[in-house]
Amino acid sequence: MSSPGRAKSPTTGRTIWSSPASPATRPRRTCPSSDSCWPAGLAGSSCSTTANTSPTASSRRCGGWSKSPSKSVGLFDSLSIRDLVFPNRIVVSPMCQYSSHDGFATDWHLVHLGSRAIGGAGTVVFEATAVVPEGRISPSDLGLWKDDHIDRLAPITRFVAAHGAVPAIQLAHAGRKASTAAPWAGGGMVSEADGGFEAVGPSAIRFAEGYPMPRALEGSELPAVVQAFADAARRSLQAGFQLIELHAAHGYLLHEFLSPLSNRRTDEYGGGFEGRTRLLREVVMAIRAEWPDRLPLFVRISATDYAEGGWDLDQSIELARLLKGLGVDLLDCSSGGNVSGVRIPLGPGYQVPFAERIRRDAGILTAAVGLITDPAQADEIIRTGQADLVMLARQLLRDPYWPLKAAQALGVATSWPGQYLRAAPPGSPAR
């Protein structure tokens, strides 16, 4: 059982976070001096976590790199990836809003996403945005399959950037889980007669009872899928986005190709690990050909299917190594979504161990996501090198101003919008 102010991973039993009594008791990381260390402690070997007994002691030393505890990397420190500077480590996770018509952004998106930028998040990721009409999770999802979509997105990216956050977009294809209704409308399937569309996948295997049998994509159709992602990347740049994340998780098309449980193909896009990862690798390469080298590219994966014979953590680590070599800068580490009825060990930060393991073993930056709700929890994930970014979803639906409150709780000075400065802690700078 976890002690007060402390949570443990239900998968490993290790402590994920704790609420320290003071900065002097926060954990510190100590790595062997032989490590070739990355900024923020990214190294190929495991680092130990020890109690910090002195506020002036060196918190971490790897080769020639060290920082004192008072200056160690935390939730409100910046992060540079390629030429982009992330002002802090808090990311608004992409969350479908079911508020579009024909893929176009609306006033709802401006208010929803803009308020999270005002609230102090360092990065705001727009919802899963379909690269083709039939790739939408629901008929009311955002799209970027035509140039006409750009003009509705551009004012929102400008607003987000004007308030100091990185505007980011998640590009997606829903595959066999496409054409569902909004949750408040029951979440069931939307028929083609009611504006839905045909579900497709790597193989004719339905996700679950009640879902349609998807049509298996022909090999000759896959180059068009790859091109659709590349075209959406080009449009993303024109719309003012500074970061792209590819959605290869939660049982959507790219994840479906990765997993042996949904991909039974016998051509070059199926079979072993190389074949099952081929479509994702081709999409990454096509996007990198369109996306400027100065800007980062992230990929969200499900680290495991939680099912025997499915996609698992070892394959995720191997995939991370491949993607890093193709120009992917960070893996956003989620889990599940491809197999119905599996038992997922939910708990505070339950997916953080995936981010830590992939970060360590693949030598790539990672983001942690899933039931991260407490400022001390989020700060400790960063300070102990378990991930480089933390992504918050429902917590930021409940409270768009969570980052400003988190800074105050952690004793960190952060800027407030000038319009809100009268409500800020004394001495807070205006943006």
Quick check: 321 and 292 in contact, CB under 8 A?
no
Which residue numbers are catalytic?
A: 252
User: Has residue 12 been placed in a domain?
Assistant: no
Which residues are 334's β-sheet partners?
302
Output the CA torsion 378→381→383→386 (10° steps): -160
Instruction: Please tell me the chain's helix, strand, coil percentages from 3-state DSSP, rounded to the nearest 5.
Output: 35, 20, 45
Considering the domain architecture, whether residues 166 and 61 belong to the same structural domain is answered as no
Looking at residue 26, its pLDDT comes to 36
Q: H helices of 62-141, where?
A: 107-118
Looking at residue 35, its pLDDT comes to 28
Question: In angstroms, rounded to a whole number, what is the distance separating the alpha carbons of residues 328 and 14?
Answer: 29
Considering the domain architecture, whether residues 56 and 159 belong to the same structural domain is answered as no
Who has greater pLDDT, 11 or 345? 345
Angle at alpha carbon of residue 318, lines to 242 and 350, rounded to 5°: 75
Looking at residue 62, its pLDDT comes to 27
| pLDDT confidence band for 150 (50 / 70 / 90) | very high
Closest CA to 423 of 408, 383, 157: 408
- What is the separation of C-alpha 341 from the centre of its chain, rounded to a whole number of angstroms? 24
CA–CA distances in Å: residue 239 to residues 105, 242, 256, 415? 12, 9, 29, 26
Instruction: Give the total number of structural domains in the chain.
Output: 2
- Tell me what the pLDDT averaged over the chain comes to: 87
Average pLDDT over residues 364-387: 98
Angle at alpha carbon of residue 130, lines to 127 and 131, rounded to 5°: 135
Looking at residue 182, its pLDDT comes to 93
| pLDDT confidence band for 379 (50 / 70 / 90) | very high
User: Has residue 52 been placed in a domain?
Assistant: yes
Phi, psi torsion values for 243, nearest 5 degrees: -150, 135
Average pLDDT over residues 34-44: 33
Average pLDDT over residues 273-289: 99
Considering the domain architecture, whether residues 363 and 413 belong to the same structural domain is answered as yes
Taking the CB of residue 1, how many other CB atoms lie within 10 A of it?
4
User: Has residue 222 been placed in a domain?
Assistant: yes
Range of the domain at 46: 25-71
Question: In angstroms, rounded to a whole number, what is the distance separating the alpha carbons of residues 45 and 37?
Answer: 9
Considering the domain architecture, whether residues 67 and 106 belong to the same structural domain is answered as no
Looking at residue 44, its pLDDT comes to 34
Give the type of residue at 317.
I
Which H/E stretch holds residue 159? helix 150-162
Looking at residue 51, its pLDDT comes to 30
Question: In angstroms, rounded to a whole number, what is the distance separating the alpha carbons of residues 263 and 203?
Answer: 6
User: Over 60: is that where the pLDDT of 38 sits?
Assistant: no
Looking at residue 409, its pLDDT comes to 97
| pLDDT confidence band for 71 (50 / 70 / 90) | low
Looking at residue 193, its pLDDT comes to 87
| pLDDT confidence band for 192 (50 / 70 / 90) | confident
Site of tokens 């679950």:
208
Looking at residue 368, its pLDDT comes to 99
User: Has residue 429 been placed in a domain?
Assistant: no
User: Over 60: is that where the pLDDT of 25 sits?
Assistant: no
